[in-house]
């Protein structure tokens, strides 16, 4: 097949304990999925889940044991961190029942949903889409993928984030409003999910701003830690 120009190679993320890399198809994100974070953003209750997307090439792969780097993005003066557990799908489907959703999970990773909060807030006020606040270049630093066959099915465990050694976020993934199988099931009613899809599952309370030079270090119990410096 002839192309007008050479297509970009697929975005691929390292697999922990392996030389293999996992190709990424789509990146979905669950919004306001921890009760205390929903409250700090001005919402309460168990509302139906909602989702937004980031482009696959927004991912910044960070190898195990390394410190990643992301540039401070343009057009913002209020860059926020959001530490998240990321679910990686090895298969998908449409209208997946909740009790079958975990069968789609190939593994898990640590991710940061970086957010230009000022641009997101202005878009909300004007009733406009959030892409400028959420889907900018290098807005999704991601650690290695840990196969579910190695770490088991994650239903609970501490999630946390430090900035320059100071604890900012601390919760447990069991505190998600919509748990992982429920989120997969609901999302599969909106989109046909496929192998290679990633789902950022939401962030706990304690989100806040970072500036150039700050070091973010976060983790989920059983998955090590993710370190990223703002360049």
Does residue 1 sit within a domain? no
Residue with tokens 């890399």: 21
Percent of the chain with pLDDT over 90: 92
Per-residue pLDDT tens digits for 13-32: 999 999 999 999 999 999 98
Per-residue pLDDT tens digits for 43-64: 666 678 899 999 999 999 999 9
**What CATH number should be reported for the domain holding residue 99?**
3.90.850.10
* pLDDT above 90 (res 42): no
Ranking 36-50, 84-98, 137-151, 179-193 by mean pLDDT, the lowest is 36-50
Task: Please state, in angstroms and rounded to a whole number, the distance separating the CA atoms of residues 172 and 12.
Answer: 28
Does residue 221 sit within a domain? yes
Per-residue pLDDT tens digits for 88-126: 999 999 999 999 999 999 999 999 999 999 999 999 999
Give the pLDDT score at 47: 76
Does residue 113 sit within a domain? yes
Structural domain containing residue 120 = 12-230
Percent of the chain with pLDDT over 70: 96
Does residue 57 sit within a domain? yes
The pair of three-digit structure tokens given for residue 214, joined into one six-digit string:
């700050």
Q: Are 109 and 222 in contact (CB under 8 A)?
A: no
Does residue 129 sit within a domain? yes
Q: How many domains does the chain have?
A: 1
Name the residue among 28, 27, 207 with its Cα closest to residue 117. 207
Mean pLDDT over all residues of the chain? 95
Does residue 83 sit within a domain? yes
Per-residue pLDDT tens digits for 220-230: 999 999 999 99
Task: Please state, in angstroms and rounded to a whole number, the distance separating the CA atoms of residues 9 and 150.
Answer: 28
Q: What is the pTM of this model?
A: 0.96
Does residue 5 sit within a domain? no
User: How big is the chain by its Cα radius of gyration, in Å?
Assistant: 17
* pLDDT above 70 (res 219): yes
Q: Are 218 and 225 in contact (CB under 8 A)?
A: yes
SS3 readout for 56-70: HHHEEECCCCCEEEE
Does residue 6 sit within a domain? no
């Amino acid at each position: 097949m002839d192309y007008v120009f050479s297509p970009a190679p697929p975005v691929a993320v390292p697999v922990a304990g392996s030389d293999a890399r996992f190709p990424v198809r789509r990146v979905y994100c669950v919004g306001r999925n921890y009760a205390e974070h929903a409250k700090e953003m001005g919402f309460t209750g168990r509302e139906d889940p909602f989702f937004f997307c980031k482009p696959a090439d927004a991912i910044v792969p960070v190898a195990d044991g390394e410190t990643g780097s992301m540039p401070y993005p343009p057009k913002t003066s209020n860059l926020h961190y959001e530490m998240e557990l990321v679910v990686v799908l090895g298969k998908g489907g449409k209208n997946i029942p909740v009790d079958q959703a975990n069968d789609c999970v190939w593994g898990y990773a640590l991710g940061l949903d970086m957010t230009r909060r000022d641009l997101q807030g202005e878009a909300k006020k004007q009733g406009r889409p959030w892409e400028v606040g959420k889907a900018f270049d290098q807005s999704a630093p991601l650690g290695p993928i840990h196969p579910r066959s190695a770490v088991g099915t994650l239903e609970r465990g501490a999630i946390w984030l430090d900035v320059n050694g100071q604890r900012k976020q601390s919760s447990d993934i069991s505190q998600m409003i919509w748990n992982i199988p429920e989120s997969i099931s609901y999302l599969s009613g909106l989109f046909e999910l496929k192998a290679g899809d990633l789902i950022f599952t939401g962030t706990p309370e304690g989100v806040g701003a970072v500036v150039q030079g700050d070091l973010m270090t976060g983790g989920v119990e059983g998955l090590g830690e993710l370190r990223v410096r703002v360049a």
